[in-house]
A and B are shown apart, each in its own frame.
Chain A
Amino acid sequence: MNEQFDVLVVGAGAVGCAIARELSRSQLRIGVVDKGCDVAAGASGRNSAVVHAGFNNKPGTLMAELCVEGNENFEALCAELDVPYKKTGKLLVAFDEAEMETLEKLLRQGEENGCKGLRMVDHAAVQKLAPNVGGFGGLYSPNTAIFDPFLYTVALAENAVYNGARFFLNNRVVAVKKDGDLFAVTTSQGVFKTRVLVNAAGMFSDKISAMVGVDEYHIYPCRGEYLILDKIANDYLTIPVYPAPTKGNSGLGIHLTPTIHGNLLVGPNAEHINDHLDYGTVSKTQDELFAAAQKLLPALQRKDVIGAFAGTRPKLASPEEGGFRDFVIKEEPSVPNFINLVGIESPGMTASMPIAKRVSAMVQGILQPAPNPDFCGKHKNIIRFAEQTPERKAELIAQDPDYGEVICRCQQITKKEICQAIENPLGVKTISGIKYRAWPTTGRCQGGYCLTRIVEILEKEYGVRVEDVAYRDEGSELFAGRVK
Chain B
Amino acid sequence: MEKYDVIVVGGGPGGLAAACAARKAGAQRVLVLERDSRAGGILNQCIHDGFGLIRYKQTLAGPEYATRAIQEALDCGVEIKCGTMVVDMSAQRQVTAVGPDGLHIYEAGAVVLATGCRERTRGAVMIPGTRPAGVFTAGVVQNFVNIRNIMIGKKVVILGSGDIGLIMARRLTLEGAKVLAVVELMQNSGGLQRNIQQCLYDFNIPLYTGHTVSNIVGKRNLSAVEISRVDENNKPIPGSGWTVECDALVLSVGLIPENEVAKAAGVKLDPRSNGTVTDDYMQTSVPGVFSCGNSHAVMDLVDFVSAQGEIAGKNAAAFCSGGQMEQWVLSRLSEPAKGLPEPDALNCILCPNGCRLRYEADGSISGNKCKRGIEYARQERTDPVRTLTLTVRTQDGRLIPARTVEPISQAKLMEAVAALQRITLPDRDYVCGEVLVEDLMGAKVVATANIPAQHP
Contacts and interface: CB of A to CB of B under 8 A. Distances in A.
Contacts of A390: 96, 103, 105
Interface stretch (A50-58, A72-80, A239-247, A474-482): A474-482
A483 B126 contact: no
A448 B99 CA distance: 20
A95 interface: no
B275 to A, nearest CB: 13
Contacts of A306: 121, 123-124
Interface stretch (A25-33, A356-364, A402-410): A402-410
Interface stretch (A135-143, A154-162, A280-288, A336-344): A280-288
A448 B100 contact: no
A74 B58 CA distance: 65
A279 B132 CA distance: 10
A452 B119 CA distance: 14
A128 interface: no
A291 interface: no
B323 interface: no
B47 to A, nearest CB: 12
Interface string A383-425: 0001000100110011001111110011010000000000000
Contact of A406 (B35, B122, B152, B219): B35
A451 B220 CA distance: 18
Given A306-B121, A448-B139, A404 B101 contact: yes
A150 B69 CA distance: 45
Given A466-B150, A484-B391, A280 B123 contact: no
A306 B121 CA distance: 7
Given A404-B99, A452-B148, A482-B149, A305 B118 contact: no
Contact of A446 (B98, B122, B421): B122
A455 interface: yes
Which of A405, A451, A481 has the most CB atoms of chain B within a 10 A radius of its CB?
Answer: A405
Given A279-B131, A309-B131, A404-B100, A456 B148 contact: yes
B85 A482 contact: no
B153 A471 contact: no
B152 A479 contact: yes
A480 B154 contact: yes
A455 B150 contact: yes
Contacts of B96: 390
B119 A448 contact: yes
Given A466-B150, A470-B133, A483-B399, A452 B124 contact: no
Contacts of A375: none
Band of interface residues on A: 35 or more
B220 A283 contact: no
Interface in B75-126: 83, 85, 87, 96, 98-103, 105, 118-119, 121-124, 126
A62 interface: no
Given A452-B140, A477-B221, A303 B393 contact: no
Contacts of A456: 148
B185 to A, nearest CB: 14
Contact of B123 (A305, A471, A475, A476): A305
B64 interface: no
A228 interface: yes
A280 B130 contact: yes
B133 A472 contact: yes
B216 to A, nearest CB: 8
B242 interface: no
A456 B153 CA distance: 18
Nearest to A478: B133
Given A286-B126, A446-B122, A476 B220 contact: yes
A465 to B, nearest CB: 11
B151 A483 contact: yes
B128 interface: yes
A439 to B, nearest CB: 16
Nearest to B147: A452
A303 B143 CA distance: 26
A121 B393 CA distance: 68
Given A281-B129, A306-B121, A446-B122, A482 B397 contact: yes
Contacts of A479: 144, 150-152
B145 interface: yes
Interface in B379-429: 391, 393, 397, 399, 421
B391 A475 contact: no
Interface string A440-459: 00001111110110011000
B175 interface: yes
B367 interface: no
Nearest to A414: B98
B160 interface: no
B128 A452 contact: no
A185 to B, nearest CB: 24
A479 B391 CA distance: 19
Contacts of B67: none
Interface string A274-301: 0001111111011000000000000000
A393 B219 CA distance: 40
B397 to A, nearest CB: 7
B148 to A, nearest CB: 6
A386 B228 CA distance: 43
Nearest to A386: B87
A13 B236 CA distance: 37
Contacts of A412: 85, 87
A473 interface: yes
Given A404-B100, A447-B140, A448-B137, A279 B221 contact: no
B190 interface: no
B281 to A, nearest CB: 28
Interface in A96-129: none
Contacts of A471: 132-133, 220
B87 A402 contact: no
Nearest to B139: A448
Contacts of A401: 100-101
A476 B221 contact: yes
B102 A449 contact: no
Contacts of B83: 404-405
Contacts of B153: 480
Contact of A484 (B133, B140, B421): B421
B406 to A, nearest CB: 23
Nearest to A431: B133
B352 interface: no
Top 4 A-B pairs, shortest CB-CB distance: A307-B123, A471-B133, A401-B100, A476-B220
16 contacts: A303-B272, A390-B103, A393-B98, A402-B100, A404-B100, A406-B35, A448-B139, A451-B140, A456-B148, A471-B132, A476-B221, A477-B221, A478-B133, A480-B153, A482-B151, A484-B391
Given A409-B35, A452-B143, 9 more contacts: A279-B131, A280-B128, A305-B124, A397-B101, A471-B132, A472-B133, A480-B152, A481-B150, A483-B150
Interface of A: 227-228, 277-283, 285-286, 302-303, 305-309, 386, 390, 393-394, 397-398, 401-406, 409-410, 412, 444-449, 451-452, 455-456, 466, 470-484
